[in-house]
Amino acid sequence: MEVEDKTIKELLFQYSKGKRYFKGWCIEENTPLKEVNLSNICFENCILFVNFQESKLNNTQFINCNIKEIDFSNADLTNVQIKNCSVESAIFKGANTNNLVFEENYCFGITLTQED
């Protein structure tokens, strides 16, 4: 997976300009994005070490991503798809997970299912 280092500032700028598809981005900043609306994004082949606490991420897709240590605490994950991602230490505490699709993800070499 080829990735390019980016910043949260770049993500927010591109989103504000209407970009919704992000491929090959590497964002490793733990700066809280509290209460940010990033709905309808698709992250593909990305590495995201991001603090999305209390953010609105409904209708977002994480496909083939490394989202280890991502923080979704109290975030809106309604209609989110997380597929084929590395999810070690991801935090979902208090998140709204209505209609969350969680498929073929892995944690420490084990494939996780929706029930996990």
State the burial class of residue 114 (Cβ atoms within 10 Å of its Cβ: 0-12, 13-18, 19+).
Answer: exposed
State residue 116's pLDDT score. Answer: 66
Residue 42: strand pairing partners: 21, 61
User: Which pLDDT band holds residue 31 (cuts at 50, 70, 90)?
Assistant: confident
Distance, CA of 114 to CA of 16 (rounded, Å): 32
State residue 6's pLDDT score. Answer: 95
- Domains of the chain, start order: 4-112 (2.160.20.80)
Instruction: Let me know: does 115 contact 96? Beta carbons within 8 Å.
Output: no
% residues pLDDT > 70 (the chain): 96
Q: How do residues 47-74 score in pLDDT, each as one tens digit?
A: 999 999 999 999 999 999 999 889 999 9
